[in-house]
Amino acid sequence: MKSLLLAGGRSSRMGFDKALFEIEGRPMIEHVAIALAGAGLEPIRIAVAKPSDVDKYGSAIGISLDIEWVLDSTPHAGPIEAIIEAISDLDEGSGLLQLAPVDYPRISEEVFNSLNESIGVSDSLIMPHDGKMSHPLLALIRPMEVLEEIGKNRSPLHVQFTDMKHSLLVVDSMTLTNVNTPDDLDRESASTK
């Protein structure tokens, strides 16, 4: 496994399944999967909440990619639990793992490549930063080091990742556009016109 695409959320702030929302003719999940594959980060392990998501999202990804599906044992438990579950069966020599949530349709293979080129040898992870905030769900991590630390407390992931030895990579804020709400969709639509 070289990447983990997080697609098990409820999309409650959006009001409908954001993974399937089309931007420029493609569902958001496909935009992210294509960027991961373009950066050579296959196989892509996609974490989903329920078995029906495998068919639904598999059909939405219109190109043939090397995908492994992982079902969250506790649906909608959150990204920390999904990350722990998805990487807990890896062996010690697994190397680096690129995280990616389904709701970053502008993410690019160049960002993933830059994270890989920029991670420090002593870093547990590197996160992209847009000049205002970091984006922990787009972090490139050393899975075994991260697995030892996350979930020990109930702090949000960005707090836990910031407490670990990490680096930041400044990335254009448009590339790090997170589409979580109808207002985000409106801004995304306006930016493509």
Per-residue pLDDT tens digits for 55-104: 999 999 978 999 999 888 777 677 888 888 888 777 666 689 999 999 99
pLDDT exceeds cutoff 70 at 145: yes
Q: What is the pLDDT of residue 11?
A: 59
Q: What pTM does this model have?
A: 0.88
The boundaries of the domain holding residue 147 are 3-191
Q: What is the pLDDT of residue 184?
A: 64
Starting at the edge strand found earlier in the chain, the sheet holding 125-129 runs: 67-71, 44-48, 3-6, 97-101, 140-141, 125-129, 166-170
Give backbone dihedrals phi and psi of 170, rounded to 5 degrees, phi first: -75, 130
CATH code of the domain in which 181 resides:
3.90.550.10
- What is the C-alpha to C-alpha distance for residues 85 and 23, in angstroms, rounded to an integer? 30
Banded pLDDT at 8 (limits 50, 70, 90) = confident
- What contacts 157, CB < 8 A, 6 or more positions away? 79, 80, 83, 136, 137, 150
pLDDT exceeds cutoff 90 at 14: no
Number of separate domains in the chain? 1
